[in-house]
Every structure is written in structure tokens, then in C-alpha cells.
Amino acid sequence: MRDYIRNCIRSHRCLSVFTVLQLTLMLSILEVRFQFHQSPQTQRPMTHVYVVGQLSELARSLLFSGFAMGAMFYGYGLIHLPIKGALGGVFSRLRITGLAVWQRCSPLMLLPWSMKVVQGLSRFPFHMWECLAKEPCLAADNFLWFLVLTALLWIHLVILAIASFVVAVRLNLRMLGARHIRSGNHELRAYAQEINELLGFEMIVMTG
């Protein structure tokens, strides 16, 4: 089962990264709120935990995750445009421009997603500070248990967010580095030059 999951992740790497990014973002957008209600049956207030999330905000999170995935596509996918036909010259220039922009700006594609995740994760400590400032919270029934459980979940979510960001950055750096081949082998240089000529632009950069 473990080997099957690994093979699925390797064969669908981009889809797996998008799923992790989107799941992390959606969980960070959801807001945990504590409310206290006085129960006539007990003298202590009752603690109620609510998970709040706006459907419109959850739907917009797909745009942030999709924008972040632009860092994992060579030239934002423009390199797959055909160069044959009447528009071949235009498409060729678009591919060259797209690859050049991606080479310089692709890490910045992760910035909006990161800011959105940080904004969502920062809500929990702020709400906890508001709850602790209220007098009845510590005396409320089961409040400390809910607080510890929610804090543990929040810590795990922070770890997931950091891991997701690291995976996305490493994949982006790996793709950036894959364009540059350092070798003094003349056969390899000739092979890379033939590929570049076939594509119509310098997809493989030979260094060294």
C-alpha cells in the first residue's frame, strides 16, 4: 500500500502538490471560535466550539493554490505552444518570453498563497487571546480540554503549512536547476543544442 501511494505521488507529482497546497490553505482559512453559554442545569458556563468558514473564501482559495502551481510549470506552460503554422512566429516569441519570465519570477508565485496561509493561521492566537481576556473562560466547563486540543491541531497545521511550502519551493528549485546542465562532454552539448534547435529556443542551458 505504501509503495502504491509513493508511485501515485511520483506519477502525479503536480496534482499531489496542488492537493497538499489546497488542503493546507483551506484548513488555515477555517476559523475555530469558542463561545460560552450559561446552562441552567450547571453553575459553570458551557463551552461550545464552532468551526467557521465562508464558502466564497474557500472557493477563492483555489485561485491562490492554482497561482502557486505556476511556479511548477516551465514557462507557465507556454513552451507547449506549437511553432508551426501561420502563428508559429508569435507562439515562438510567447514561449521564449514565458520561459524567461518564469525563470526570474516563478518563486514569487508562492508569495500570495503563503500570505493567505499566514493570515489564516494568525487568527487562532488572536482569538485565543480574546478568549483568555474574558473572565468566564477559565471557569467554563471543558474549556481547557478544548483549548489544548485546538492548540495541538493548530501546531500540526503550522507544521503542515511549513512542509507544504518547503516541498513547493524544492520542486521549483529542482525545475529551475534542471534547465542548466554543467558538462564538458561535446556529445552532450551537441545533443542539448539539437533539442534547443528543435524547440526553437534555449530550453537547455549548458554551463561549464
Sign of CA dihedral 108, 109, 112, 115: negative
Q: Distances from the Cα of 49 to the Cαs of 23, 37, 57, 144, 150, in angstroms?
A: 21, 11, 21, 12, 10
Exposed, middle or buried by CB within 10 Å (0-12, 13-18, 19+), for 199? middle
Helices and strands per DSSP (H, E), number in the chain: 8, 4
Cell digits of residue 191: 545533443
Q: What is the mean pLDDT of residues 64-76?
A: 89
Give the three-state DSSP class for 133.
coil
- pTM value > 0.85: no
More confident residue, 120 or 75: 120
Angle of CA points 162, 167, 172, to nearest 5°: 125
- pLDDT at residue number 169: 92
Q: Of 47, 78, 76, 80, nearest to 148 (Cα)? A: 47
pLDDT digits (tens, 9 = 90+) for 16-39: 889 999 999 999 998 888 777 776
How many other CB atoms sit within 10 Å of the CB of residue 131? 19
Give the three-state DSSP class for 49.
strand
The DSSP call for residue 122 is T
Alpha carbons 103 and 71: distance in angstroms, whole number? 9
pLDDT digits (tens, 9 = 90+) for 118-173: 999 998 888 877 777 766 666 667 777 878 888 899 999 999 999 999 999 998 99
